[in-house]
Amino acid sequence: MDWLDKRGLDWGEPCCWACKRDLDDKYDLNRPRATREEIIKNWERAPLQRCHIIARQFGGEDIPDNLFLMCKSCHDRAPNTKSREAFLDWVERQDYIALVQEDIMRELRSFDLLDRIDDVTEMLADKELMKRFFSNSGLHMNQARGGSEITLSSIFVQIAEELKRRN
């Protein structure tokens, strides 16, 4: 699996093989001499999905050469294709930081905050203010992927309200 070696993954820190999103520290295996079995057990605990490179609908098999570990977001966006090369080309273009930046830009536009980016940045850096925002945000059940999360829009709606209050 040369393509996997080229990704430059740290086997002690499970991550999405597509966007390389790091998972929580609780999945880090901080032991350089960990056995193969310990590494596998650690990765099995991580919230990653086993996905097919060649989709099953196109005859893709459940064999190691056709399986790829991805976060739920990447799995939802991944192409269903007959082409291994096309899939791996898509993988090379994934970037967790860029995806988060796109989400933030969408929220800035949604709340008409693009001209207040300096104020928003200052607020995001304010730990006490962010604690307040998080304590005032409810968990949202993610319909597409399951599980619960505090949505980015829950934070940005509070930023917009706080900026209105300050004016």
- Averaged over successive runs of 10 residues, the pLDDT of the chain (167 residues) comes to 66 82 71 75 82 94 92 91 94 92 94 94 92 80 57 89 91
Q: Taking the complete model, does pTM exceed 0.85, yes or no?
A: no
Which pLDDT belongs to residue 3? 65
Per-residue model confidence as pLDDT tens digits over 63-99 = 989 999 998 889 989 999 999 999 999 999 999 999 9
Taking a C-beta distance cutoff of 8 angstroms, is the pair 130, 108 a contact? Answer: no
Angle at 84 (CA atoms; ends 17, 62), nearest 5 degrees: 75
Taking a C-beta distance cutoff of 8 angstroms, is the pair 51, 67 a contact? yes
Q: What is d(CA 143, CA 9) in angstroms, rounded to the nearest whole number?
A: 30
Domain-wise residue ranges, the chain = 2-92, 96-166
